[in-house]
Chain A
Amino acid sequence: MRWGDGRRGLTLFGTTRPFRYPPLMDDPDVIILGAGLVGLTLACALDAHGLRSVLIDPAEPAAALAPGFDGRATAVASASWRMLNAIGVGAQLEGRGCPIARIEVMDGPKPGGLSFDPGRPGDPLGVMFENRDLRAALRARAETGGNIAFRQPARAATVERGAHGVRVALADGGGAELRAPLLVAAEGRNSPTREVAGLRVARWRYDHRAIVTAIGHERPHENVAYEIFYPAGPFALLPMLDGTDGRPRSAVVWSVAAKDGPALAGLPDRAFAAELEKRMGGLLGRVGPIAARSTYPLGFHHAAKITAERLALVGDAAHGIHPIAGQGLNLGFRDVAALAEVLVDGARSGLDLGDPILLDRYQRWRGLDVLSVAAATDGLTRLFGVGGRAASAVRRAGMAAIDRVPAAKGWLMAEARGESGELPTLLRGALV
């Protein structure tokens, strides 16, 4: 039997019966709690280097892979995209992404904006994907990985982290106990494992909500992303591949005052389209149709310490940022790239994968990057979140200034690409 077999449940008469998993041939190197985008990516990155992982997630896999489009999309930074290719996920996403050739930053729909020119032909600032395509591709890649096992749906009943290893007992996995040198929490922003470990999170909330959806529109976007700043908050349009109806399509991330959120998100399609057209100032012509909408409170959370005894946090469990720059998932991808490299180096040196020296390296590598991206994104939001004509003039002057200073613009562009700091090997598109 190959390591990782026995991952499927049995569907009989429309219900999934609990499945008794056969024992693993060997203990895994890493137990990953959470089989979302970031957890799956980590498992694939480790698999590509021969490191074994078990993914535990309480969600029904079928529910996570529901065929309908939920309106959510992600701008995968080009460094992240290089990693997805290196670990064998790229092939399944071929032809499903829309490259972002240019980002226009505008203070209201007026001229005088800042345009990020990519400057490198063939190397886009990022590629827009529907989240469901990313999920399906990662899932498909993970299921063919010989070093990946799923325990899903399954819940960790007890988790013990000690000086000599981690033990996880599953609540509904046939009484199985898993052991590994390291536990990774990829459980998202409310990570219970992080709370139990006492890793404190600094958070603040903007008094805003983000409405997220995808829209068809009349005129082609020509692969341009727009960040339009309004006193009430930023409005972002990100180019996507044409819809199934053949209409040009873009993703929308629209920040509105918290009190207006529910009413705006709940408008009938026609009225909602009219509101969007107002914000877009005729930029892409008439709007419609509109995909499913969801709203999120806008906030920022950041765990200063992302490691504890035999534990590492990745993705939203470690940090979440305002989505205006589309950096949330990319930060998670960078966590994966750094952690995978630390663990692969450690394994090849014969170190215990839970060795605090390795976890310290991961902590140092990610700490500064996360904080600088969060601070920059928050700074942008605050700069543009101030109302009034004087502030608007200052902003336009500021943007023009940034446009004229190559170093500042270079930094912002590198940030958009996800290339700041000492780059993990995977983000350069190579295996460690």
Chain B
Amino acid sequence: MASEADGGTIDAREAAHFGALAADWWDPRGSSAPLHQLNPPRLGWLREQIDRHWGADPRDRRPLAGRRALDVGCGAGLVAEPLARLGAAVTGVDAAPENVAAARAHAGLSGLAIDYRATDVAALDGLFDLVTCLEVIEHVPDPRFFVRALAARLGEGGLLVLSTPNRTPRSRAFLIDLAEGLGRIPRGTHDYAKFITPDELGAMLAEAGLRVVDRTGIAWSVGRGFALSDDLSLNYLLCATQG
């Protein structure tokens, strides 16, 4: 049903359909609301990692200029578009062709050139300076294999950033019982058994030849919403490099 990854032809009805889908993805009060709220803290932390890793000026608006970035599980482009604004040549991949079509439609209207592909990261070649994979690994069937596929896309001196829910009573209560129960996140989004702890993820990265250089938690409170925190028990971000 979707257009080919090479960007072939898109018929008008499909364009309208994916436009509507993109509109829902990008509606901060729509079904992706939690991802929108996560964006400022997680992008802020990602920026810190970029500055530290490449010695970029924190005031520079295009610290990724001249670098290639890959966003895996890009959805409609909530992370890929910011990476493009920070100057990177961005490739976004997602397993769902309708997400990729929605992402393309939105990037076009935002005036951003992003290479979106409906494919599996394991089927991708080419190397990237930055690989991001946020709120995705908890959905894949074989995370160990998936981490190796991510690591294989990382070029010399590259940076990998991952985020995912922790596996704790707290994350179960918040993300499944509460958020899905209240309909803030679509039901069936998460499967608690597939959640991964920071140590487990660190071990998978080590197996793939990567080293965790920094990590942080994302906590939620009524007053502040999502914010970076030393508490990793709900959700966490993790940054890894080679060796």
Contact = CB atoms under 8 A, between A and B. Distances in A.
B186 interface: no
Nearest to A361: B40
A349 B82 contact: yes
B109 to A, nearest CB: 4
Interface stretch (A108-116, A185-193, A351-359, A394-402): A351-359
A62 interface: no
Contact of A356 (B23, B28, B58): B28
Contacts of A360: 28
Given A350-B86, A351-B85, 5 more contacts: A347-B61, A349-B40, A349-B43, A350-B83, A355-B39
Contacts of A348: 47, 58-59, 61
B81 A357 contact: no
B224 to A, nearest CB: 9
A72 interface: no
B59 A50 contact: yes
Contact of B40 (A49, A50, A163, A357): A357
B36 interface: yes
B40 A351 contact: yes
B110 interface: yes
Closest 4 CB pairs of A and B: A350-B82, A349-B43, A350-B85, A350-B86
13 contacts: A345-B40, A345-B44, A349-B39, A349-B40, A349-B47, A350-B85, A350-B86, A351-B40, A352-B110, A356-B29, A357-B28, A357-B37, A358-B40
B234 interface: no
Nearest to B33: A357
Interface residues of B, number: 23
A382 interface: no
A164 B40 CA distance: 19
A378 to B, nearest CB: 26
B84 interface: yes
A288 B58 CA distance: 54
Nearest to B62: A350
B30 to A, nearest CB: 11
A164 B84 contact: no
Interface of B: 23, 26, 28-29, 36-37, 39-40, 43-44, 46-47, 58-59, 61, 81-86, 109-110
Nearest to B64: A350
A357 B36 contact: yes
Contacts of A352: 81, 85, 110
Contacts of B85: 350-352
B92 to A, nearest CB: 14
A50 B60 CA distance: 9
A206 B148 CA distance: 70
B58 A164 contact: no
Interface in A45-65: 49-50
Given A349-B82, A350-B84, A357-B28, A50 B61 contact: yes
A278 B26 CA distance: 64
Contacts of A356: 28-29, 36
A361 B86 CA distance: 21
Contacts of B46: 349
Contacts of B28: 355-357, 360
Contacts of B110: 164, 352
A164 B109 contact: yes
Contacts of B29: 356
Nearest to B86: A350
Nearest to A348: B47
Contacts of A351: 39-40, 43, 82, 85
A405 B168 CA distance: 48
A358 B39 CA distance: 10
Contacts of A49: 59
A351 B44 CA distance: 10
B201 to A, nearest CB: 24
Given A50-B59, A350-B82, A351-B39, A163 B47 contact: no
A376 B39 CA distance: 36
A427 B59 CA distance: 19
Nearest to A359: B28
Nearest to A351: B82
Contacts of A357: 28, 36-37, 39-40
Nearest to B38: A357
Nearest to B61: A347
A90 B83 CA distance: 36
A163 B23 contact: yes
A49 B163 CA distance: 30
Nearest to A163: B23
Interface string A357-369: 1101100000000
Contacts of B58: 348
Nearest to A432: B59
Contacts of A50: 59, 61
B53 to A, nearest CB: 16
Contacts of A350: 43, 47, 81-86
A357 B39 CA distance: 9
A49 B59 CA distance: 7
A138 B81 CA distance: 35
A352 B86 CA distance: 11
A350 B43 CA distance: 8
A356 B83 CA distance: 18
B44 A349 contact: yes
Nearest to B22: A163
A355 B32 CA distance: 14
Nearest to B44: A349
A235 B82 CA distance: 53
Contacts of B84: 350
B243 to A, nearest CB: 28
A428 to B, nearest CB: 17
Contacts of B39: 349, 351, 355, 357
B143 to A, nearest CB: 27
Contacts of A346: 40
B4 to A, nearest CB: 25
